[in-house]
Amino acid sequence: MIPPRPGEKLPAVPLGALDVAAIGLYARASGDDNPVHLDPAAARAIGLPDQIAHGMLVMGRLSRLALGWRADAVLEALECRFTRPVPAGSVLSGDGRVAKVDALADGHRVILRLLARDTDGAIAAMGEATLRLPG
């Protein structure tokens, strides 16, 4: 398979809805029951528009972009910076590009720059994924 090239764009993909049910399921699974995620009144009391999705839930959705890009890729690392809260009911989409490609003896190491966009198209999270591709 041809190795990717720096600057290559990843196709935009839907990352799904972060509705109240998804946030509640994540809260139970993670043990993170912070009221800003589960109680709209608590979220509004600190200036948020509504209850918000957990950052790690957003990051997990962003990982779909990296892992769905190439079926032969192995995710070695994922970092994420959150740029704005993601209110319940938001629908995320993701896009990105290849930032760097290093040749290895047995394949390539690829760095992807990833973006998660909210319902309004605003950037909600920026990530960097390090992938290993076989020879």
Phi–psi pair at 122, nearest 5 degrees: -75, 145
CATH fourth-level superfamily of 9-19+53-134:
Hotdog Thioesterase (3.10.129.10)
Q: Which residues face 91 on adjacent strands?
A: 17
Q: How far is CA 115 from CA 1, 11, 19, 24, in A?
A: 26, 12, 20, 24
Taking only the tens of pLDDT, the chain with its 135 residues reads: 788 999 999 999 999 999 999 999 999 999 999 999 999 999 999 999 999 999 999 999 999 999 999 989 999 999 999 999 999 999 999 999 999 999 999 999 999 999 999 988 999 999 999 999 998
DSSP letter for each residue of 38-93:
H-HHHHHHTT-SS-B--HHHHHHHHHHHHHHH-TT-EEEEEEEEE-S--BTTEEEE
Q: Distance between CA 65 and CA 95 in Å, rounded?
A: 7
